[in-house]
Amino acid sequence: MPGGDYRIFVGAFPTGDLAERIQHLRQRHDPVTARSTVPHVTLAGTYWRTGPATPENEAQTIACLRAIQDQIAPFDLLLGGVSSFEPDVIYLEVDPTPGLLAARNVLLQALGPDKHRHFVPHLTLAMHLDRRETRALLAQLQQSEYHSERWSVHMDHLWLVQRGPGDPAWRYIHRIDLVSPVDDAALHRR
């Protein structure tokens, strides 16, 4: 394996009707990717690790995430627009809002730099298609609601996920609850 035995990342995983519709789209056009993970936006990662892919081997990471989770405020994912990373990744655009970027910065300070030299927040719709399939699907999706509409999805938690070489899919190993900052002035008015 390049760089280690298993991988981890921290992501924002939308839920509800929009996530279900996106997953249905992914299952139709790229069932392999759809089976490996549900729709998400990677905020920190992917990090390679050595050893067996067990939650216990990420105890230090989990402790680190517990220590910093109160530094990450809930934020909204703003989704809409369809683009691609050449030659074979089609994604739903995600606005790099201040809340999303602040969450990423806290995570990177705690976990270290990740693979992204230039971070482009996105939600993968399909990947590993051949060039002709990619172009056709991209053109189709750019005529759909996924390109013309905009959605806001409130994120009040993130997930640390893990996948070993024999795992058919990424698995959740730790939930990171996001806490709204305490308004000291409001507390003193009571």
Domain at 155, CATH number: 3.90.1140.10
Q: Does residue 185 lie within any of the structural domains?
A: no
Q: Provide the residue range defining the domain that includes 86.
A: 6-178
Q: Does residue 127 lie within any of the structural domains?
A: yes
Total count of domains within the chain: 1
75-85: strand order across its sheet: 122-127, 89-94, 75-85, 151-155
Q: Does residue 125 lie within any of the structural domains?
A: yes
Q: Which residues pair with 45 in a beta bridge?
A: 9
For each of the chain's 190 residues, which pLDDT tens digit applies?
456 899 999 999 999 999 999 999 999 999 999 999 999 999 999 999 999 999 999 999 999 999 999 999 999 999 999 999 988 999 999 999 999 999 999 999 999 999 888 999 999 999 988 899 999 999 999 999 999 999 999 999 999 999 999 999 999 999 999 988 764 444 455 5
Give the Cα separation of 105 and 70 in Å (integer). Answer: 14
Q: Does residue 86 lie within any of the structural domains?
A: yes
The β-bridge relationship of strands 41-49 and 75-85 is unpaired
Q: Does residue 152 lie within any of the structural domains?
A: yes
Give the Cα separation of 137 and 90 in Å (integer). Answer: 8
Q: Does residue 65 lie within any of the structural domains?
A: yes
Q: Does residue 184 lie within any of the structural domains?
A: no
Q: Does residue 36 lie within any of the structural domains?
A: yes
Give the Cα separation of 131 and 94 in Å (integer). Answer: 23
Instruction: Count CB atoms within 10 A of the CB of residue 184.
Output: 8
